[in-house]
Amino acid sequence: MRYVILSKGDAKSEALKHKMMRHMQDFKMIEDEENPEIVISVGGDGTLLQAFHQYSHMLSRCAFVGIHTGHLGFYADWLPHEVEKLIIEIHNSEFQVIEYPLLEIIVRYNDDGYETRYLALNEATMKTENGTTLVVDLDIRGQHFERFRGDGLCVSTPSGSTAYNKALGGALIHPSLEAIQIAEIASINNRVFRTVGSPLVLPKHHTCHIKPVNHDVILTTIDHVSVKHKNVNAIQYRVANEKIRFARFRPFPFWKRVHDSFISSGEDV
């Protein structure tokens, strides 16, 4: 088994990483940063997001597993004291692969049809550079839907629906559903300007185009990465053809994670 371990970088995560590497060498597993079969993140969900972006070019050839050294994560499902068990499972077992949908973002510019493509595991946001009101036209499946005015827009994946999207009042969507969700960030609604005022859930075959109105610079985030874009014609969002693959060695139910994260981590009383 070829593996790579990515650490959050703090003392606890680094110590755990080196402990795991020693054990994995004992099992004759091969560290391979270029072509791993399994990508192990040690830290939290943020560390796994970084691992995803580092290996997003080879999603069909590797699977991810997370060890959380801090709070319970939605992606990191193993605890530090369980690493020996995990290593034995990796060595001895044919792990189950669970696939989650991803978000494809294509930024198209006014310069000769040039475009940039991104993938997001959690969400992508769109705002102005200086915090002024964002004014954009939103088209769905090639038809105009609305002109949005507000602080910005957040487009999330099902697994990312528990993150920023939830704070914006969006719905929680099970990752078995191939969809994206568009949530408003502080929209302007009055007698003159109106938006739908509700999150939109688009299925896989629906594409959304968002076109800036008189904005020279658009600030986007792709998960944890911020990128400024100039001279943007439109940004396209849709469910990506690629999926992230998680290595599962035991059940890790989505709704239990939601319950433990937002309702109670202990026994109900």
Fold of 2-95+249-262: Rossmann fold (3.40.50)
pLDDT in tens, the chain (269 residues): 999 999 999 999 999 999 999 999 999 999 999 999 999 999 999 999 999 999 999 999 999 999 999 766 789 889 999 999 999 999 997 889 999 999 999 999 998 779 999 999 999 999 999 999 999 999 999 999 999 999 999 999 999 999 999 999 999 999 999 999 999 999 999 988 999 999 999 999 999 999 999 888 999 999 999 999 999 999 999 999 999 999 999 998 999 999 988 998 555 54
Domain 2-95+249-262 shares a fold with domain 102-241: no
Is position 223 annotated as part of the catalytic site?
no
Distance CA 252, CA 67 (A): 13
Domain boundaries, the chain: 2-95+249-262, 102-241
- Right CATH for 102-241 from 1.20.120.330, 3.90.1200.10, 2.60.200.30, 2.40.50.140: 2.60.200.30
Question: Which has the closest alpha carbon to 201: 255, 152, 161?
Answer: 161
Distance CA 142, CA 206 (A): 9
Question: Which has the closest alpha carbon to 3: 76, 62, 47, 68?
Answer: 62
Question: Which has the closest alpha carbon to 174: 260, 72, 74?
Answer: 74
- Give me the pLDDT at residue 112, please: 76
Contact 208, 182 (CB under 8 A): yes
Which amino acid would we find at residue 226?
S
Q: Which of 10, 45, 112, 268 is catalytic?
A: 45
**HSE of 45, CA atoms in CB hemisphere, 13 A:** 15
Cβ count within 10 A of residue 13: 23
- Give me the pLDDT at residue 207, please: 98
pTM across the whole model: 0.94
Distance CA 78, CA 190 (A): 48
- Give me the pLDDT at residue 269, please: 41
Contact 185, 150 (CB under 8 A): yes
Q: Which residue in the block uniquely carries the two structure tokens 């911020």?
A: 226
- Beta bridge partners, 65, equal 40
Q: How far out from the chain centre does Cα 188 lie?
A: 27
